Amino acid sequence: MRIVLDRARCEGHGLCEEAAPQLMHLDDEGELVLDREEISVTDSAANAEANAAVRVCPVAALRIA
Amino acid sequence: MSRPTEQAGRVDRVLIVGNGIAGLTAADTLRGAGFEGDLTIVGDETHAAYSRPALSKALLHDGDDLSHELAPPTHGATELLGVRATGLDVERRRVALDDGTDLPYDRLVIATGSRARRLSDLPEELTLRGLDDALHLRSRLAEKPSVIVVGGGPLGMEIASGCLAAGSQVTLVSQGVPLLLQLGPHLGEVFTAAARERGLTVVDTEYARLERGGAQAGASRVVLDDGTVLEADLVVTAVGDVPNTEWLASSGLVTSGPLTVDSRGLVRPDVAAAGDLAAFPTPYGIRRIPLWSSAIEQSKVAAAALIRGQEAPTLHFQPYFWTEQFGLSLKAVGYMPVVGPPAYVDGGPGGPALMRWAREDGTGVAAALNYRIPIPRLRRVTQQAA
Instruction: Decide if pLDDT at B10 tops 90.
Output: no
Residue of A nearest to B70 (CA): A60
Q: Model confidence at B285, in pLDDT bands (50, 70, 90)?
A: very high
Question: What CATH number is given to the structural domain containing B169?
Answer: 3.50.50.60
Residue pair A43/B37 in contact by the 8 Å Cβ criterion: no
C-alpha to C-alpha distances, B184 to B8, B16, B97, B181, nearest whole angstrom: 47, 36, 42, 6
Residue from the list A13, A14, A59 with its beta carbon closest to the beta carbon of B67? A59
State whether B150 and B183 are in the same domain.
yes
Give A1-65 as a DSSP string. Answer: -BEEE-TTT-----HHHHH-TTTEEE-TTS-EEES--B--TT-HHHHHHHHHHHHH-TT--EEE-
Residues in chain B closer than 8 A to A26 (CB atoms): 374, 376-377
Average pLDDT, chain B: 93
How many angstroms away from the CA of A12 is the closest CA of chain B? 6
Asked whether residue B130 is assigned to any structural domain, the reply reads yes
Task: Tell whether B376 lies on the interface with A, counting CB pairs under 8 A.
Answer: yes
Asked whether residue B357 is assigned to any structural domain, the reply reads yes
State whether B171 and B83 are in the same domain.
no
Q: What is the mean pLDDT of residues B299-307?
A: 96
State whether B147 and B227 are in the same domain.
yes
Nearest CA among B107, B103, B143, B148 for reference residue B124: B148
Chain B interface disruption, residue of A56, A57, A63, A64, most B CBs within 10 A: A56
Asked whether residue B324 is assigned to any structural domain, the reply reads no
pLDDT digits (tens, 9 = 90+) for B166-218: 999 999 999 999 999 999 999 999 999 999 999 999 999 999 999 987 666 67
State whether B34 and B56 are in the same domain.
yes
pLDDT at A60: 87
Domain limits, chain A: 3-64
Residues in chain B closer than 8 A to A9 (CB atoms): 66-67
Flag if A11 and B375 touch (Cβ within 8 Å): no
Q: Where are the alpha helices (DSSP H) in chain B?
A: 21-32, 58-61, 131-141, 154-165, 180-183, 185-197, 292-308, 375-383
State whether B283 and B149 are in the same domain.
no
Instruction: For chains A and B, count residue pairs whose Cβ atoms are closer than 8 Å.
Output: 69
pLDDT at B203: 98
**Residues 6 or more apart whose Cβ sits within 8 Å of residue A43:** none
CA–CA separation, B335 vs B366, rounded Å?
10
Nearest CA among B293, B290, B285 for reference residue B317: B293
Residue at which a domain ends, from B197, B220, B237: B237
Q: From the centroid of its chain, how far is CA B52? A: 7
pLDDT at B8: 54
Backbone angles phi, psi at A47, to 5 degrees: -60, -45
Flag if A59 and B372 touch (Cβ within 8 Å): no
Residue of B nearest to A30 (CA): B373
Give B126-150 as a DSSP string. Answer: EE--SHHHHHHHHHHHTT---EEEE
Residues in chain A closer than 8 A to B331 (CB atoms): 13
Residues in chain A closer than 8 A to B332 (CB atoms): none
pLDDT at B214: 67
Asked whether residue B250 is assigned to any structural domain, the reply reads yes
Residue at which a domain ends, from B190, B214, B237: B237
State whether B188 and B201 are in the same domain.
yes
Residue at which a domain ends, from B219, B237, B255: B237
Side chain identity, residue B114: S
Residues in chain A closer than 8 A to B71 (CB atoms): 51, 54-55, 60, 62-64
State whether B27 and B102 are in the same domain.
yes
How many angstroms away from the CA of A31 is the closest CA of chain B? 8
Q: Model confidence at B363, in pLDDT bands (50, 70, 90)?
A: confident
Flag if A48 and B329 touch (Cβ within 8 Å): no
Flag if B70 and A60 touch (Cβ within 8 Å): yes
CA–CA separation, B185 vs B183, rounded Å?
7
CA–CA separation, B246 vs B140, rounded Å?
31
How many angstroms away from the CA of A30 is the closest CA of chain B? 5
Report the range of poorest mean pLDDT among A25-39, B108-122, B256-270: A25-39
Asked whether residue B329 is assigned to any structural domain, the reply reads no
Q: Domain of B129?
A: 125-237
**What's the domain count of chain B?**
3
pLDDT digits (tens, 9 = 90+) for B308-342: 999 999 999 999 999 999 999 999 999 999 999 99
Flag if B51 and A58 touch (Cβ within 8 Å): yes
pLDDT digits (tens, 9 = 90+) for A5-49: 999 889 888 899 989 999 999 988 888 999 999 999 899 889 989
Asked whether residue B325 is assigned to any structural domain, the reply reads no
pLDDT at B74: 86
How many angstroms away from the CA of B349 is the closest CA of chain A? 21
pLDDT at B6: 39
Asked whether residue B223 is assigned to any structural domain, the reply reads yes
State whether B207 and B258 are in the same domain.
no
pLDDT at B5: 38
pLDDT at B244: 98
CA–CA separation, B321 vs B330, rounded Å?
8
State whether B32 and B91 are in the same domain.
yes
Q: What is the mean pLDDT of residues B230-235?
A: 95
Instruction: Decide if pLDDT at B4 tops 60.
Output: no
State whether B82 and B16 are in the same domain.
yes
Flag if A11 and B53 touch (Cβ within 8 Å): no
Flag if A60 and B28 touch (Cβ within 8 Å): no
pLDDT at B307: 93
State whether B129 and B226 are in the same domain.
yes
Q: What is the mean pLDDT of residues B237-259?
A: 96
Task: Tell whether B28 lies on the interface with A, counting CB pairs under 8 A.
Answer: yes
Burial class (CB in 10 A: 0-12, 13-18, 19+), B123: exposed
3-state SS class at B289: coil
3-state SS class at B170: strand
pTM for the model: 0.94
What percent of chain B clears pLDDT 90, i.e. is strictly above it? 84
A3-64: CATH number: 3.30.70.20
Nearest CA among A7, A54, A11 for reference residue B324: A11
State whether B144 and B175 are in the same domain.
yes
